Amino acid sequence: MRFFATGIVTLSLLVASASAHFDVSPYLVGGQLMTGGRDHGGTAYPPPISVYGYDFGEEPLDPFNVSDPGVNQGAGVGGLPAGAALRYNIASSLLYWNGIGAVDWSLPPAGSFVELSMNSAKRTLTGTSGPQTGSLIQSVAADGSVHRHFVTSLFAAAGASNVPGDLGYVPPADGIYAFNLSLTLSHGGTDYVSDPFWIVFNNGLSQSQHDAAMEAIPEPASAVVALAMGAMAALRRTMRPAD
């Protein structure tokens, strides 16, 4: 698999390491919708940023239902027109790395999936789910601000609970889980579409492994090809005749 490591990704890593869990911050600049960052103290990081890092496991009583990523822009900062509809779409399947050796993206463990919730809408990402139409995030406020948070939930299997102590609880596998999103801003009959950006969640690995995974994010086309090849290999294994 071919990886890229551009200045954009490097900037994203530096910002992510210095200010964990900052929100995706949309900007409309010269007719182009772009993504920067905004931390919870209100500090803004200009676009372009294409990789955002978050962690499962920070809340011991509910470690796998996380209110990240956020989508956040301050009043009068991002050039967003009042009343414009901000939406998201999913641009990839769910990628996974188990943390062993060099970063090597693959299908997630069998049965595991991520549920992405925004407002009342939910989408499910698996290793083979592919691109999906998302939903409305928010209409831009009169002062040009937006602020909503996804809830990202990690499950080990369909029907299993992801909350410790619940009946049927199954802990999801440690590793890095990543997926690709884009934003669309609709206003005055025009749709402004951002470049795709990556959301990279760490579950139980070290910060250095998380950083390495963020640096080794694949090009979108490469990710699709690699996961398709992985799915075909898994299918061949299940169809192999008995000896």
**pLDDT per residue rounded down to tens, the chain (243 residues):** 222 233 344 444 444 443 357 999 999 999 999 999 999 888 999 999 999 999 999 999 999 999 999 999 999 999 999 999 999 999 999 999 999 999 999 999 999 999 999 999 999 999 999 999 999 999 999 999 999 999 999 999 999 999 999 999 999 999 999 999 999 999 999 999 999 999 999 999 999 999 999 999 987 544 444 444 444 333 333 333 333
Question: Using an 8 Å Cβ cutoff, are 72 and 150 in contact?
Answer: no
Question: In whole angstroms, what is the distance from residue 94 CA to residue 180 CA?
Answer: 8
Structural domain includes residue 188? yes
Length of the chain: 243
Radius of gyration, alpha carbons of the chain:
18
Structural domain includes residue 87? yes
Looking at the structure of the chain, the number of domains it has is 1
pTM here is 0.85
Domain enclosing residue 20, as ranges: 7-239
pLDDT at 220: 54
Structural domain includes residue 140? yes
For residue 93, list its beta bridge partners. Answer: none
Structural domain includes residue 2? no
Structural domain includes residue 1? no
Question: In whole angstroms, what is the distance from residue 118 CA to residue 168 CA?
Answer: 25
